[in-house]
Amino acid sequence: MPSFSHSRIDSYETCRLRYKYAYIDRIKVEVEDTVETFLGSRAHEALEKLYRDKKYEKLMSVEELLAYFNERWKEEWKDSIIIVNKDYTQENYRKMGERYLKDYYERYTPFDHGKILGLETKNQMSLDEEATYRFHIRIDRLMDMGEGLYEVHDYKTSSSLPNQEDLDNDRQLAMYSLWVRSQFKDFKKVRLVWHFLAFDKEMDSFRTEEQLENLKAEILSKIKEIESTKEYPAHVSRLCDWCLYKEICPEWKHLTQLEEKPENEYLKDPGLKLVDEYVETKKKLDEHKMEAEEKLEKLKQALIVFCEKEKVEVVFGTENKISVKEQEYIKLPGKNTKEREELIEALKQIDRLDEVSELDIHALLRIIKDEEWDDSQLDVLRRFEAREKSYRLSISKK
């Protein structure tokens, strides 16, 4: 029975190749974590311990909370953990974690608002009547606030703060609230609560029953799309820096190999040499092309002057001849101009706009050229025309 989690669907949506590596090929990578996810895990653990103790009527002091966080940090830290931003060390991240927890503690102590129903819960919810598809429910903290109000709390350690619209469209907690609805008979309302620890900020959102049913259908259809897909293209984005598969991803593999080489070998890399040579050659080609185009334009102008002076229309070379024909064409005001607006208004007034289907310039040009309308109407149209000259040069054998 296929079961899906929020992070699995999110992974598919952000990069299908990453999804394939993680959920289809199930590739194990040597790199275990990024420092951001490591910090998130340690902060979650510390808050879980704080509330678990609270359930047993034991209130941790802020010093005990920080000591627990630091102890777990020391126990779990591995040098294989990736720190993307080289300006900062693991110590900077550890201290950030301490600050998050200290701020949280001060804001919510003595933590006696509502009854704790679950901490880091692990459940599943079926998405269809046949229970073919299941969805993982992982709630950081589930609270009973009394009178049928339940709260789903989520801790975030991300360094950016979403706006309210993002939260009102968030799928993860909304799906969890669907599950909460199905669990409690006295259920009346679910409040979705996010704690953005880096900002010491609490934000919330609610969903209607209709919104949740629509969301369930949307998730089910997304899962079916995931199951039927055969294509797993890479999607390069800033998230690649945090992707655990970056080293094997074809979009980045060569760069990773280059970065591992010492500087003297780095420059001898055949791939690097090919790219440099290709770019250099392309640059030269573009320069030549530009020069040739400029020269061609000058020759064109010179030929036009020659024809006008000599009163000829065809000029002969050794093996070719060039005919220089003067053409007159009609121009009407271009899009997004004041004149264009005026033209539309004028056409409306003479009841002819429908005929040129929302101002079809080609249709109007044809009407002017073939004089399809009566004179007074053509006069209206002609107020907007401008006549310009151009030259067409064609090369052919003698």
Would you give the end-to-end CA distance of the chain in angstroms?
77
Output the smallest distance, CB 47 to ligand SF4, in A. Answer: 29
Binder among 6, 8, 15, 180 for ligand SF4 (CB under 6 A): 15
Say whether residue 252 binds ligand SF4 (CB under 6 A): yes
Contact 191, 224 (CB under 8 A): no
Binder among 8, 18, 156, 195 for ligand SF4 (CB under 6 A): 18
Contact 245, 18 (CB under 8 A): yes
Q: Which is nearer to ligand SF4, 203 or 240 (CB)?
A: 240
Q: Which is nearer to ligand SF4, 65 or 243 (CB)?
A: 243
Residue 174 CB contacts under 8 Å (≥ 6 apart), including other chains: 192, 207, 211, 212, 215
Tell me the C-alpha distance between 164 and 36, whole Å.
23
Q: Which is nearer to ligand SF4, 240 or 378 (CB)?
A: 240
Q: Which is nearer to ligand SF4, 236 or 305 (CB)?
A: 236
* Tokens representing residue 86 in the block: 């080289």
Output the smallest distance, CB 212 to ligand SF4, in A. Answer: 30
Compose the 192-231 pattern: x for residues touching ligand SF4 by CB under 6 A, - for all others. Answer: ----------------------------------------
Q: What are the E-state strand segments in 172-316? A: 189-196, 201-205, 314-316
Helix or strand (DSSP H, E) at 224 = helix 209-228
Q: Which is nearer to ligand SF4, 234 or 368 (CB)?
A: 234
By CB under 6 A, the residues from 224 to 243 that bind ligand SF4 are 234-236, 239-240, 243
Say whether residue 17 binds ligand SF4 (CB under 6 A): yes
Contact 158, 37 (CB under 8 A): no
Output the smallest distance, CB 390 to ligand SF4, in A. Answer: 47
Tell me the C-alpha distance between 162 and 266, whole Å.
41
Output the smallest distance, CB 18 to ligand SF4, in A. Answer: 4
Residue 88: alpha-carbon gap to chain centroid: 26
Say whether residue 247 binds ligand SF4 (CB under 6 A): no
Tell me the C-alpha distance between 199 and 62, whole Å.
18
Q: Which is nearer to ligand SF4, 25 or 128 (CB)?
A: 25
Say whether residue 22 binds ligand SF4 (CB under 6 A): no
Output the smallest distance, CB 23 to ligand SF4, in A. Answer: 12
Q: At what angle do helices 270-310 and 253-260 cross, to 10 degrees?
A: 120
- The footprint of ligand SF4 (CB under 6 A) covers 15, 17-18, 234-236, 239-240, 243, 245-246, 249, 251-252
